[in-house]
């Protein structure tokens, strides 16, 4: 992967500046987001500077095993009121995705935007946006190499967590030969692939399994069976609802699957997955969200049934148009 040398020089200068660096990511962070902020924190430390990882939401319990996760702060936990002049935002398609952490960013801040979403708005002073990378973990691997930073076992572990989840355990269509080569390099550097996968996918609370059973029972097929939906009520909330949508996507004949989840703020979170034809990122963008061609999402005000009834016709039309 090639980077503009001038941008690399600017990045290294910012990451090693005398100013404390704020590192953050999107609300409701996933393993790629958590692994990436922890990796950037270590990169900054290796360059001799100090970084504070501050997020709006807590680190998901399933990511608690990652090196450095116990030092992540939430906005409500920190009494830090300083406005940072050096900021790294990772895995966020737009600046607003960081939530209220925005108020810690100085109006004159130098912002590094590191992301792999095609919908990214290039909001940074420096933008390292590469949609052809499967995960921010993959992109950061090449930045580490380009900056001559040592690829430690802890860096490899955090990057591998993001890579294995954003590729769906190396089975999604965003998985490339380069992704596999990066995964191999991270294992060679000390990432324990089996242990990381077990922590992320096979260490599930019993209550989550019970909730998954109820969620699967809400399955509906629409049209000619090309669109599927499932509903998650607030009291059925599970730590990682997104992977549940893969069950609905796996159904024979389904092209697009959507998982609708109630949230505490009264909104409905919609997670979409497609198989081969429909670009769900465009659908998500039309509703104010974003994501990838085969995996995207957005939020909408309304009840579960109201939002379902609004989006199903849109999904059915997208499926029809994709086969025209």
Does the domain at 207-322 match CATH 3.10.310.30? Answer given as: yes
Tell me what pLDDT residue 236 has.
86
| Crossing angle of the two packed helices 136-146 and 31-46, in degrees rounded to 10 | 10
For residues 169 and 163, give the distance between their C-alpha atoms in angstroms, rounded to a whole number.
8
- The pairing of strands 256-262 and 220-222 is unpaired
Tell me what pLDDT residue 303 has.
96
Question: DSSP label at 22?
Answer: E
For residues 287 and 240, give the distance between their C-alpha atoms in angstroms, rounded to a whole number.
22
CB–CB of 91/115 below 8 Å? Answer: yes
CB–CB of 308/271 below 8 Å? Answer: no
CB–CB of 87/22 below 8 Å? Answer: yes
Backbone angles phi, psi at 181, to 5 degrees: -65, -40
Tell me what pLDDT residue 324 has.
66
Q: What is the CATH number of domain 5-201?
A: 3.90.1640.10
Tell me what pLDDT residue 32 has.
97
Q: What is the CA radius of gyration of the chain?
A: 20
Tell me what pLDDT residue 287 has.
93
**Residue 204 neighbours by CB distance under 10 Å:** 13
Tell me what pLDDT residue 92 has.
94
Per residue of the chain (324 residues), give pLDDT as tens.
889 999 999 999 999 987 899 999 998 899 999 999 999 999 999 999 999 999 999 999 999 999 999 999 999 888 777 899 999 999 998 999 999 999 999 999 999 999 999 888 999 999 999 999 999 999 999 999 999 999 999 999 999 999 999 998 998 889 999 999 999 999 999 999 999 999 999 988 898 899 999 999 999 999 999 999 999 999 887 877 777 898 999 999 999 999 999 988 889 999 999 998 999 999 999 998 888 888 889 999 999 999 999 999 999 999 999 986
Q: Model-level pTM?
A: 0.90
In angstroms, the Cα distances linking 155 to 88, 137, 192 are 17, 10, 12
Segments making up each domain of the chain, as ranges? 5-201, 207-322
Residue linked to tokens 């050096």: 86
Tell me what pLDDT residue 239 has.
78
């Amino acid at each position: 992967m090639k980077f503009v040398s001038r941008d690399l020089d600017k990045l290294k200068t910012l990451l090693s500046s005398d100013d404390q660096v704020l590192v953050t990511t999107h609300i409701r962070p996933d393993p790629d987001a958590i692994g990436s902020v922890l990796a950037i924190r270590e990169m900054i430390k290796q360059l001799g500077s100090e970084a504070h990882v501050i997020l709006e939401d807590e680190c998901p319990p399933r990511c608690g095993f990652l090196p450095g996760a116990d030092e992540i702060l939430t906005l409500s936990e920190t009494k830090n009121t300083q406005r940072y002049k050096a900021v790294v935002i990772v895995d966020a398609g737009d600046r607003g995705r960081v939530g209220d952490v925005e108020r810690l960013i100085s109006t004159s801040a130098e912002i590094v935007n590191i992301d792999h979403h095609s919908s990214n708005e290039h909001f940074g002073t420096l933008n390292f946006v590469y949609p052809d990378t499967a995960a921010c973990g993959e992109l950061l691997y090449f930045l580490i190499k380009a900056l001559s930073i040592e690829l430690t076992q802890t860096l490899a572990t955090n990057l591998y967590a993001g890579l294995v989840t954003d590729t769906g355990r190396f089975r999604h269509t965003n998985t490339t030969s380069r992704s596999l080569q990066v995964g191999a390099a991270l294992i060679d550097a000390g990432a324990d692939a089996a242990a990381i996968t077990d922590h992320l996918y096979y260490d599930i609370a019993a209550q989550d399994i019970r909730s998954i059973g109820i969620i699967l029972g809400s399955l509906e097929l629409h049209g000619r069976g090309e669109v599927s939906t499932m509903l998650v009520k607030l009291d059925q909330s599970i730590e990682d609802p997104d992977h549940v949508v893969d069950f609905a996507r796996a159904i024979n004949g389904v092209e697009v699957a959507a998982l609708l989840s109630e949230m505490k703020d009264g909104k409905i979170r919609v997670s979409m997955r497609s198989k081969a034809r429909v670009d769900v990122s465009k659908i998500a963008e039309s509703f104010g969200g974003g994501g990838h061609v085969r995996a995207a999402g957005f939020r909408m005000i309304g009840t579960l049934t109201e939002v379902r009834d609004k989006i199903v016709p849109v999904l059915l039309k997208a499926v029809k148009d994709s086969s025209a």
